[in-house]
Amino acid sequence: MADPSKPAHHEDGGSTAKRGKPTLRTIAEITGLAVTTVSRALSDAPQISLDTRKRVREVADEIGYSPDRAAQRLKTGRTNVIGVLLDPHEEILGYGTSIMSGIAKALQGTAFHLIVMPNFLNSTNVEAVNYITRNGMADGLIFSRTEPLDPRVRLLSDLGFPFVTHGRTELSTPHPYVDYDNFTFSYQATKRLIAKGRRKPALISGPAGFTFAGHLQHGFMTAVREAGCAYEILSGIDLDSPAGEIRDRIRQRYAEPGPPDSFMCGGEVCALATITGMSDCGLTLGREYDIVAKQTSHLLSAIQPQVETIYEDLTATGEDMGRVLLQKIGGESDASKLQLLLCPQIPASFGTAG
C-alpha cells in the first residue's frame, strides 16, 4: 500500500526491517498517510476526517502501537509523571504502600506514571521538591506529613507547580489537599472513652510540627472540656515513637501517682505498645482501662478486638489524592473541588451506651 513514487531518503523506511517498536511512521507507511496526520488522528483532532481517524486507530491497535513517552515528553515538555515523596517514617504498617496503591489506581487508564522520589536523596524534603521542579522531573507532586507552615507547599504554590498534600496547612493561599478529619476522629474517640465511664483519658499526641497533631489534640481537648473531666497528654512520646519507647513510657507513667484510665491512640502500633505497657503493669484492657484507636490496616482489631477502632482507608485516600491532582493538572482551579476532608466512619457501637 505504501507509495513507492515518493523519494525515501532512507534506504529502509523502517517498515520492513528494524522490527523494533512501531512508531507513527510505521503507521504512516501502512496507511499511506503523513506522520502528522497519523499523530493528529490518534489524538482525535477534529480536523481529521472521522473516517481517517477510525482507520488509523485500527491499524495502531493491530500493530500494537504505543507512543514513545520520551519523544512526547521532549516535544511537549510534559512528563506524564506523578511523583510521590517517600518519607522514611512512612515505612510503618504499610502506610506508604497503601497510599501508593491508591494513587496508582487513580492513575490507571491515564497517561500518567507514578514515580517514587525518596527524600533521603536530599537532606530535606524542600531540597527534593526544588530539585524535582527545577529539573522538570514530574508534572505533579504528592506528599504527606504536612506542616502548618509547610515550606514545600509555599515553594510549590509560588512556582504554580501542581501538587496535593495529605493533610492541611495553615497557609493563607488555598491549595489542593486530601485530609482525614482528625479532629472529629479524636473528638469522637475521646467522647467514646468518656461514655464508657472513663474519667481521665490520655492522649498520645502526633509528632510535633505536623498539622494533624494539632487536630488530634484539639479534638481530644474539646471532648474532655465538654465533659469537664481530667485528662493527660503523655509527654516524651508521640505516634512516631518506636513501640518499645511507648511501652516503656506507659510503664513509667504507672509508677507515678494519678495515672490515666484510658487512651486515645492515633495509630495501631501505638495502641499495641500501650496495651503491652499496661499489661506489664498487670492491668487489663476493658477492665481497668480502655483504648480507642485509629486503624489503617486490619491488624489491630484482629489482634486486640477489645480496642474500639475507627478505620481510615489509606488506599482510598491515595485514590482521592490521585484524582485531585489529575484535576489540578487538568486546569481545574476551583479550590473547593480540590480540597477533600474525609469524614471518619464512626462505628454504630459508639452510639450505644458504654
Least CB distance to a second copy at residue 230 (A): 28
- Check if the beta carbon of residue 140 is closer than 8 Å to that of residue 107: no
Residue 210 in grid coordinates: 505536623
Alpha helices by DSSP H, listed for the chain, are 24-31, 35-42, 50-63, 69-76, 95-107, 125-134, 151-159, 182-195, 211-227, 243-254, 268-280, 299-303, 314-329
- Which residue in the block uniquely carries the three cell numbers 494539632? 214
| Residue 170 touches a second copy, criterion: CB under 8 A | no
Is the Cβ–Cβ distance between 105 and 322 less than 8 Å? yes
List beta partners, residue 61: none
Residue from 20, 64, 257, 351 touching DNA (CB under 7 A): that is: 20
Total residues contacting a second copy (rule CB under 8 A)?
53
Q: Does 244 contact a second copy by CB under 8 A? A: yes
Q: Please count the other Cβ atoms lying within 10 Å of the Cβ belonging to residue 62.
A: 11
Of 129 and 338, the one with the shorter C-beta distance to a second copy is: 129
Residue 194 Cα to chain centre, angstroms: 32
CA–CA separation, 185 and 173 (whole Å): 26
| Radius of gyration (C-alpha) of the chain in whole angstroms | 27
Contact stretch for a second copy (CB under 8 A) within 214-222, 223-231, 236-244, 325-333: 236-244
Which residues share a beta bridge with 288?
A: none
Instruction: Work out how close the CB of 301 gets to a second copy at its nearest, in angstroms, rounded to a whole number.
Output: 8
Counting contacts by CB under 8 A, is residue 157 touching a second copy?
Answer: no
Determine the straight-line distance between the first and last CA of the chain, rounded to whole angstroms. Answer: 80
Residue 95 contacts a second copy per CB under 8 A: yes
The DSSP bridge pattern shows strands 113-118 and 308-311 to be unpaired
Beta carbon of residue 263, minimum distance to a second copy (angstroms, whole number): 15
- Here's the x/- map for a second copy, 26-65, by CB under 8 A: it reads as --------------------------------------x-
Q: How near is the Cβ of 288 to a second copy at its closest, in Å?
A: 17
Amino acid 35 reads V
Interaction between residue 81 and DNA (CB under 7 A): no
- Residues numbered 89-148 forming contacts with DNA, rule: CB under 7 A: none
Asked whether 248 and 274 are in contact (CB, 8 A), the reply is: no
By CB under 8 A, tell whether 286 contacts a second copy: no
Binder among 96, 162, 167, 322 for a second copy (CB under 8 A): 96
Q: What does the binding site for DNA look like in residue numbers (CB under 7 A)?
A: 6, 9-10, 14, 20-21, 23-25, 32-37, 39-40, 42-43, 47-49, 51-52, 65, 67-68, 71-72, 74-76
Using CB under 8 A, list all residues that contact a second copy.
21, 64, 66, 68-71, 73-74, 79, 86, 88, 90-98, 100-101, 104-105, 108, 113-116, 118, 120-121, 134-137, 242-244, 247, 269, 272-273, 275-276, 297-299, 301-304
